[in-house]
Amino acid sequence: MRILLTGGAGFIGSRVRDQLTGRGHDVVVVDDMIPAAHGADAVAPDGVIRVNLRDADLDPLLDGVDAVCHQAAMVGAGVDANDAPEYAADNDFGSARLLAAMYRTGVRKLVFASSMVVYGDGSYVDAVGAPAFPAERSLDDLRSGRFDRYLPDGAVARWALTPEQTPAAPRSYYAASKLAQENYAKAWTLETGGSAIALRYHNVYGPHMPKDTPYAGVAAIFRSQLEAGAVPTVFEDGGQMRDFVHVDDVAAANVAALESDLTDFDAFNVCSGQPISILAVAQALTDTIGGADPVVTGDFRPGDVRHIVADPARARERLGFTAQVMPADGLHQFATAPLRG
């Protein structure tokens, strides 16, 4: 296939490019080289066309293209409401322009990067395993160190795997923009009869992650702290459960989606299937280098969720995707892996 890959010079996009070319696909790579992902003075690597999806003429890039793999995005939870216009412009307006160009040029297959953040908080069960809907955490709870979510009887709600049919409940501007991308893509499939696959990435990590920025995820923050000679600082009590998935597995999920024969709109969790606490992630990194134990600060961010852990079953059954790099191995490698920027 001839594939247009957006964001192809980025942390995830570059690994997608490697795997696609390794399987014999012809890949047209574009990237806007935004400073938050590449550094202030970055230049486009060889073979990468510098393109801003918000204003470029996209039709010529789609000449002869069979499918689009859309990784370009402004990522991360953001800093404050001043970031909202950029999330809307980069993620939503840029994606809408790409869909319009695909409509005009007859390209009818799209695979794109979505995120676990569309779910908001994760799924919960009670003591007997029945679905539960605990109250939101209040500022008073957080300030007093009550970081869990609680059932009406006062018991702690237990986390459960979050499947794709979970209702969306975005809690950040980034999350709102990713859900909007999904909605635009679904509407496009209804009009065109095309195929759009949203890959809901969980906590991606691996070599050449961008260094710590205001938009970085926790893995990059911990790794940057280690590189600076500090110890990882863990928010809340460190008991937050997540799924950390290696970048090579994320790239493999994109390849599986592009090579699939799925039709219409669909969404899949991209995860390792091995839940792990934030404190355990920090501890694994420090243990690898023989460093001091992480510091649990008790600090919190009001918009953070307590637990969000993915159900990998649907991606396994429908896409044939199963992660190969488990956190025990991947985090050990990541502790000394090179960073970007």
Rounded Cα distance, 16 and 71, in Å? 9
* Residue tagged 């393109």 (tokens): 51
What are the sequence ranges of the domains in the chain? Answer: 2-122+162-335
User: What is the pLDDT at residue 293?
Assistant: 96
Residue reference for tokens 């003075």 = 41
Q: What is the pLDDT of residues 20-75, one digit of tens each?
A: 999 999 999 999 887 767 766 777 788 999 999 999 999 999 999 999 999 999 88
Give per-residue pLDDT as tens, 111-120: 999 999 999 9
pLDDT tops 80 at residue 129: yes
Per-residue b or e along 233-264, where b marks 16 or more CB atoms closer than 10 Å to that residue's CB: ebbbbbbbbbbbbbbbbbbbbbbbbbebeeee
For domain 2-122+162-335, give the CATH number: 3.40.50.720
Gyration radius of the chain's alpha carbons: 20
Rounded distance, CA 94 to CA 100, Å?
10
Taking only the tens place, the pLDDT of each residue in 161-209 is 999 999 999 999 999 999 999 999 999 999 999 999 999 999 999 999 9
